[in-house]
A = this chain, B = another copy of it.
């Protein structure tokens, strides 16, 4: 397929490479052009603007940092909105707000383009290894059209409905679940350690009882070892996602007190100048508040 790929950062670069490897014809664009250039060796064309990349694409994939970036790439000067052909699909893989996703759905429909929200679970290594999990929502035919693309970048795609914003809700819920588990781990490690239990021993019990999932086990290991650098996902990004979650929850009139609390923990990290630490460093805050020194 002819694809425009917008945003070749830590996540986008390996995803675009996998699309090229699967035989798709990819035109990329990135705000900092140098970060897109490695793809040229793999056969990608580099465009000067999002519009140029999108102009004869069957699908435009956006993999960008936040609402502002997506808004700019879609609706800004030389954005894809005017350029993308009718019937083509905007496959939006970024973690963005539910309200922007709803806005995009409506806007693309006016333009007779199609819109699929398809945020991903996974880190850069998973993107590289093609083990991402995608949560997709949108019109069934549009999702079918994107299927080869999704298969090229992800291990598995969960289709959660026809309303694109449903995928964003599910993605934000997922990130909250991780952050909440980190908070709980942080508090329990603080108590266990301060009570005299060795962190590695506590980790063994957790691994042997609760943690089938590599997600929880991985965070517990970081926390047990105090390894908050380098960040795989920063506190600042975690805060952003919790903010989006709570905004969606307020719009839907759903009180989420645990999410509010986790948000405040991440905000504390950011306020203390640790926004670039891994978000598992929320556990460090819990330990410090307990008077633990290291």
Contacts and interface: CB of A to CB of B under 8 A. Distances in A.
Q: Which of A161, A185, A257 has the most CB of B within 10 A?
A: A257
Interface stretch (A53-61, A77-85, A109-117, A270-278): A270-278
A103 interface: no
Contact of A180 (B170, B180, B249): B180
A176 interface: yes
Q: Which of A158, A254, A270 has the most CB of B within 10 A?
A: A254
Given A197-B161, A201-B160, A289-B268, A209 B174 contact: yes
Contacts of A267: 249-250, 253-255
A210 B177 contact: yes
Interface in A190-215: 190-192, 194-198, 201-202, 204-206, 208-215
Contacts of A173: 188, 191-192, 202
B256 A187 contact: yes
A174 B192 CA distance: 11
A204 B248 CA distance: 21
Nearest to A212: B212
Interface stretch (A7-15, A28-36, A258-266): A258-266
Q: Which of A191, A194, A268 has the most CB of B within 10 A?
A: A191
A184 interface: yes
Given A169-B192, A176-B188, A194-B254, 20 more contacts: A98-B195, A121-B209, A133-B208, A160-B197, A161-B197, A170-B197, A174-B210, A180-B184, A181-B181, A181-B184, A184-B258, A187-B256, A191-B256, A195-B248, A210-B213, A213-B216, A253-B270, A257-B257, A257-B260, A257-B261
